[in-house]
Amino acid sequence: DVRDRDAADAAMARAAGLTEGVLHILVNNAGVTDPAMFADTTVDSFQRIHDIHVLGAFNCSQAALPFLATDGKGRIINVTSSAGITGTLGQVNYSAAKAGIIGITKSLARELARKNILVNALAPLAATPMTETIRTNEKFAANMLNRIPLRRWASPEEVAGAFVFLATDAASFVTGQVLPVDGGMVM
């Protein structure tokens, strides 16, 4: 549970123990949705979404920091969404949380550059269980596809390459960026 700081600390220490005490890549990808129009969004729902996305990224990043490589190979890759860039109907809680991830990304990139640790974010849009409700509802699906210039959903494999890019030396001079991998929806 990324909301639990002790659990995040233990997970990072365990992971570092498997790699001679050094972590190279942290991907903050914990996330859930709880769609509702703003008037119907509860404080509990808003807090839960915020805690999983924003507090989770904070906890895991801070827990990983003592172990992250400072030789230019240390990376934090946060997962955000176009919802955090443009907002979205019926998901103010999710949009606010994903915007918070962008803020964490940019601030950490500035701060951790001194330690030679790169911090970036991806804003993917793919056919996953998290997007199933939108993809299988005729009205929602048509609306979404009209917003995507490529007029289709990405497969998870199409998004994976962007993660690989940010995790490797190909992105050794990239930090503080949000890379939308969404068929052109955000441009």
Residues assigned a catalytic role: 94
Give 162's DSSP letter. Answer: H
How many whole angstroms separate alpha carbon 135 and alpha carbon 51? 26
Decide: helix, strand or coil at residue 103.
helix
The answer to whether residues 80 and 29 touch, using CB atoms and an 8 Å cutoff, is: no
Say if residue 116 is exposed, middle or buried (CB neighbours under 10 Å; 0-12, 13-18, 19+).
middle
